[in-house]
Structure 1
Amino acid sequence: MSAHDLDEFLILNVDDTDAALYAKSKILTRVGFKVISVSSGTEALQKAKELLPDLILLDTKLPDINGFDVCRQLKADPVTQFISILQTSASFITSGDKITALDGGADNYLCEPIEPEELISNIKALIRLSLAERELSEINRKKDAFLATLAHELRNPLGPIRNSLKLMETLENLTPKHHQLLNIISRQTNQMVRLVDDLLDVSRISLGKILLQPSNLEVDEFINAAIESSTYLIQDRGHQLDVNIMSKGLYVHGDKVRLVQVVSNLLNNAAKFTSRDGLISLSVVQENDFVIIKVTDNGIGLSKQNLATIFDLFVQHGRVEDRVHEGLGIGLSLVKNLIELHGGEIYVDSPGLGLGSTFLIKLKLIDAPIVDGKTTTDIINAVTLNKILVIDDNVDAANTLVDLLSLFGHEVQTAYTGKEGLELAKSFQPQLIFLDIGLPDMLGYEAARLLRKDDKNKGCVLIALTGYGTDNDKQLAINAGFDFHLTKPLNLGKIKFLNLGF
């Protein structure tokens, strides 16, 4: 760092001793740093929020709040937690004091008296580290933006492919070969969707952006859904699946979609890494206040060395003779993170290579909820939704969805821009609208707000259909007036509750 570079960095100097405050400021300004000086903890907290300095030079002995507490407060505040803090002290000089400071969030700790060269070198080192962290953060931000865009662009063509498949399945005179080919295309499309979703989930988890949508959930419910999801792969590999649910009527507080994903990933993993005609077992049992879910296979197994890294991102260990590597090596990492988000634990064990593996999930049980006989979703009443409007600038996606809905007897119209959709809604007065978010002339959120302002549309069911599927995207949709948020490609199974005839 040259002197010219240093004048770009602001340092907040905090010390209640005038002489020390002056001396440190003089040393720092002489080499080129910009320095602001304060003499109390309260001032330090205020100026840190106001100025967001690159580094805080923080004395421990202050008149109002001690430096240890100031540091803890700064690091606990999302606004200031990324500011580097160098704590100094002439009074607290034991190893215990240093540990207290570092445990409280300080990036380094120096005991006074401090040589000017040592002070400057430490500050420069912390600033270099801070710059590297910011650069890495920016790279991660760009990566996440790229993944979100990639997922959106990949999902867009998958929608019309899925819709076209559904339409082709209704054609007459299809031969068994035709059905076989359609099934292959359908399976591979679903695999593509899963890969895209897994990529996005890894990014969201690493940034803490996954928000669970928990409810009181019967264990059987997500176990059976996971089995159904994994059945094709297990049967395709010729495996036998033994299911032993030894405890019934167990409930957990969890996100059904995510817990299905967890158990399904474990079953799929067992199926992929077990040679054909293998044995997979799934058991559910209560142990005290916990439910224990085990997935065991007689597959390729794991060495002791591989046991330690099996949940790491992008890791795949071993292969079976009749299969090449497939997948991204992120399924088990996702499983571990999702279980931890539920407050649970996951373990893996294997007697060794060629001897199979066992994955064990441990989740806290809750009391069985009181059933009042009412349904959990009441948004859709006994209304026949036969007038439907599709608004999407992807012509193929819009037209294939229109064809599919028309096939089931609905009166459907389509628009390719937000303005066209708003005008058509006034004249057509649909009971259900599928609305894309990324329209060429306006965002779908804006279109939704305008639709809701018209009293004629207040009873209309509004569904966001988009390639963007983060929790934030879903919340933005609900805030804009949508009833539901669905990611492309449209999974018809997710809208069965609409009674559209699928």
Structure 2
Amino acid sequence: MTYATVILNVDDNEGARYVKSRVLRHAGFAVIEAATGQGALDAVSEQSPALVLLDVKLPDISGIEVCRLIKQNPQTSSTLVLQTSAAAVQARDKIRALDGGADSYLTEPVDPAELVANVRALLRLYAAEKALRDADRRKDRFLATLAHELRNPLAPIRNAIELLDPRHGASDAGRADARQIASRQVEHLGRLVDDLLDVSRISHGKIALQMTTLDLRQIVEMAVETSRPVLDAKQQQLTVSNTPGPCHIVGDGIRVAQIISNLLSNSAKYTAAGGAVTLRLEADSDEVAIGVRDNGIGIAPDELPYVFELFMQSRDAVKRADGGLGIGLALVRELAELHGGSVNAYSEGLGKGSEFVVRLPIARAPQADDAPTNNNNMDNETIPRKRRVLIADDNVDSATSLRMLLELEGHEVRVAHDGPSALALAQSFEPHVAILDIGLPGMDGHALAKALRARPATARTQLIALTGYGQERDRQATAEAGFDRHLVKPAPFDEILREIEGTKAD
């Protein structure tokens, strides 16, 4: 059901007021009336009209003074005021009214079409300003939440670093725990950044789905494995109900797993320690339903329609350390719709848990001859051995820490902090592998890669981009520059090591 925009028509002349009200009602607006200035102020305060059609000459308070009082009150300052007058028609009268806060001014008698056009134009302005104010509030709330979410992992990371300091005398077990803590929190930070990038890609239509025929039961297993640490940390009981036989859809396996793991993570966040979460998979001839139910805090009725809005936060979320950015459920909706599906949220209210159900089109089972072929033409006869590795990164701490790790693995490492120095060093060092940041001073990573490829001594060097830029256009740019691999910071050390040790040493 849609409601007509409310307009307050203020005029002590009953005949003039009747005509203007009739014109506005005929145009589809809801009109309320007042005959005095005080009546106008009371109506604005009590009924919150979007616009006040305000005559200048009123029996108790001047219309210009009424306008000033409306605009001065923080509760009513956004109310539009269209000042009218049959007597004050000089330029100085209009200027006085507009300086007093009026949004526009019309002299009477006014043509009905002109009146309606002015009202509609002001309401468009009102809608645009309201959208900007709402966006600004969401931005401020999001930035505050983002700062909170980014600070949370930094505290345990700092503590873990302290535990690794020899002066504290931590045991081997304590140092191992510290490393695990730091590793988990870095992964958490990485997920936050990935979620933000996913939002950007989807909102700009840049996300590319790798569509294949999937057995959804296997995707459920992947999602459960991803979400298990979050559930186990709060000792929550997860019950999974799968279909008895294969359940096929056409989709991107990674993204469908992301849909399910986001729902599981959301339930874990808003369910108390020791609570219960249920994941069920059901299918009929047309669609498959993925349902996640919990016995957590539930959703307030007034918040239920908005749970999939970007950066939406429950009022309770600000009190919770694990409240998140308000991105996960928005991603669920966008990804479900990209797969031709939908998602709905259900809750009987606060304290009564919640359920989320994703519905996706079902697909025929793949044919037997669709089995994947082995296209691996790589030479797998590489034996881990010492490599010459060049690191180019203007972040000194990042380059130094990576050098230390690689040297502990037995590799010979040289470091440069700008493009020209890296190019000069490569000429004499002749690295097997060059790990290059993109945002280097003097010569960026793309130009450096092209220069290395152009020199005989480094033409066959394995080039790895290790950068904070991770969007599809960034990967395409590194490939065009001659890089063999594109890794996004913070890349797991094991992954960097695999790339290095998979490189032939001449």
TM range (shorter): 0.5 to 0.7
Give the unaligned 5+ runs of structure 1. Answer: 1-113
The CA distance in 2 between the partners of 1:289 and 1:458, in whole Å, is: 55
Letter in 2 for 1:229: T
Letter in 2 for 1:180: D
The CA distance in 1 between the partners of 2:232 and 2:113, in whole Å, is: 72
Q: Deviations over 1:367-419 (max 9, x none)?
A: 36745554466567443463332221111111211222222233333222222
2:359 to 345, 359, 362: 362
8 Å Cα contact 2:269-2:322 kept in structure 1: no
> Partner residue of 1:383?
382
The Cα of 1:431 is off from its aligned counterpart by 3.3
The CA distance in 2 between the partners of 1:447 and 1:164, in whole Å, is: 34
The CA distance in 1 between the partners of 2:412 and 2:483, in whole Å, is: 21
> Partner residue of 1:49?
none
The Cα of 1:491 is off from its aligned counterpart by 2.4
Higher relative contact order (CA 8 A, sep 6+): 1
CA gap of 1:283–1:409, structure 2 versus 1, over 3 A, is farther
CA gap of 1:217–1:447, structure 2 versus 1, over 3 A, is farther
The CA distance in 1 between the partners of 2:483 and 2:457, in whole Å, is: 15
Matches within 5 A, 1:159-308: 174-247=171-244, 249-308=246-305
The Cα of 1:239 is off from its aligned counterpart by 0.3
The CA distance in 1 between the partners of 2:379 and 2:296, in whole Å, is: 46
Question: How does the TM-score come out when normalised to structure 2?
Answer: 0.60
The Cα of 1:495 is off from its aligned counterpart by 5.1
The CA distance in 2 between the partners of 1:261 and 1:281, in whole Å, is: 17
Matches within 5 A, 1:10-89: none
Q: Tell me, what secondary structure is at the counterpart of 1:308?
A: helix
The Cα of 1:467 is off from its aligned counterpart by 1.1
Letter in 1 for 2:225: E
> Partner residue of 1:397?
398
8 Å Cα contact 1:198-1:331 kept in structure 2: yes
The Cα of 1:178 is off from its aligned counterpart by 2.9
Letter in 1 for 2:221: N
Q: Deviations over 1:415-436 (max 9, x none)?
A: 2222222333343333332211
CA gap of 1:452–1:224, structure 2 versus 1, over 3 A, is farther
The CA distance in 1 between the partners of 2:467 and 2:237, in whole Å, is: 38
CA gap of 1:204–1:382, structure 2 versus 1, over 3 A, is same
The CA distance in 1 between the partners of 2:249 and 2:258, in whole Å, is: 16
CA gap of 1:342–1:481, structure 2 versus 1, over 3 A, is farther
> Partner residue of 2:327?
330
The Cα of 1:438 is off from its aligned counterpart by 0.3
8 Å Cα contact 1:417-1:440 kept in structure 2: yes
The CA distance in 2 between the partners of 1:381 and 1:168, in whole Å, is: 40
8 Å Cα contact 1:279-1:298 kept in structure 2: yes
> Partner residue of 2:350?
353
> Partner residue of 2:414?
413
Q: Deviations over 1:316-339 (max 9, x none)?
A: 236499954621222111221122
Q: Deviations over 1:442-483 (max 9, x none)?
A: 221122222233455454432211112222212222222223
Give the unaligned 5+ runs of structure 2. Answer: 1-110
CA gap of 1:484–1:258, structure 2 versus 1, over 3 A, is farther
The aligned length equals 371
CA gap of 1:233–1:473, structure 2 versus 1, over 3 A, is same
The CA distance in 1 between the partners of 2:448 and 2:123, in whole Å, is: 48
8 Å Cα contact 2:161-2:178 kept in structure 1: no
More deviation, 322-331/260-269 = 322-331
More deviation, 465-474/209-218 = 209-218
8 Å Cα contact 1:302-1:352 kept in structure 2: yes
| 1:312 and 2:309 matched | yes
8 Å Cα contact 1:435-1:463 kept in structure 2: yes
8 Å Cα contact 1:380-1:498 kept in structure 2: no
| 1:344 and 2:345 matched | no
> Partner residue of 1:439?
440
Q: Deviations over 1:81-128 (max 9, x none)?
A: xxxxxxxxxxxxxxxxxxxxxxxxxxxxxxxxx99989x989999998
CA gap of 1:243–1:457, structure 2 versus 1, over 3 A, is farther
The Cα of 1:295 is off from its aligned counterpart by 1.7
8 Å Cα contact 1:216-1:369 kept in structure 2: no
The CA distance in 1 between the partners of 2:285 and 2:173, in whole Å, is: 52
8 Å Cα contact 2:217-2:243 kept in structure 1: no
The CA distance in 2 between the partners of 1:187 and 1:197, in whole Å, is: 15
Q: Deviations over 1:23-62 (max 9, x none)?
A: xxxxxxxxxxxxxxxxxxxxxxxxxxxxxxxxxxxxxxxx
The CA distance in 2 between the partners of 1:268 and 1:414, in whole Å, is: 40
The Cα of 1:269 is off from its aligned counterpart by 0.7
The Cα of 1:494 is off from its aligned counterpart by 4.8
The CA distance in 1 between the partners of 2:233 and 2:432, in whole Å, is: 42
CA gap of 1:429–1:279, structure 2 versus 1, over 3 A, is same
Letter in 2 for 1:258: R
What is the RMSD computed on CA atoms of the aligned residues?
A: 4.6
CA gap of 1:387–1:260, structure 2 versus 1, over 3 A, is farther
The CA distance in 2 between the partners of 1:293 and 1:451, in whole Å, is: 50
Letter in 1 for 2:233: D
8 Å Cα contact 2:291-2:358 kept in structure 1: yes
8 Å Cα contact 1:300-1:320 kept in structure 2: no
CA gap of 1:390–1:175, structure 2 versus 1, over 3 A, is same
- Percentage of identical aligned residues: 38
Letter in 1 for 2:349: G
Question: How does the TM-score come out when normalised to structure 1?
Answer: 0.61
CA gap of 1:211–1:371, structure 2 versus 1, over 3 A, is closer
The CA distance in 2 between the partners of 1:289 and 1:487, in whole Å, is: 39
8 Å Cα contact 1:346-1:359 kept in structure 2: yes
The Cα of 1:315 is off from its aligned counterpart by 1.8
| 1:470 and 2:467 matched | no
CA gap of 1:115–1:278, structure 2 versus 1, over 3 A, is closer
CA gap of 1:325–1:395, structure 2 versus 1, over 3 A, is closer
The Cα of 1:270 is off from its aligned counterpart by 0.8
More deviation, 233-242/301-310 = 301-310
The CA distance in 1 between the partners of 2:215 and 2:165, in whole Å, is: 37
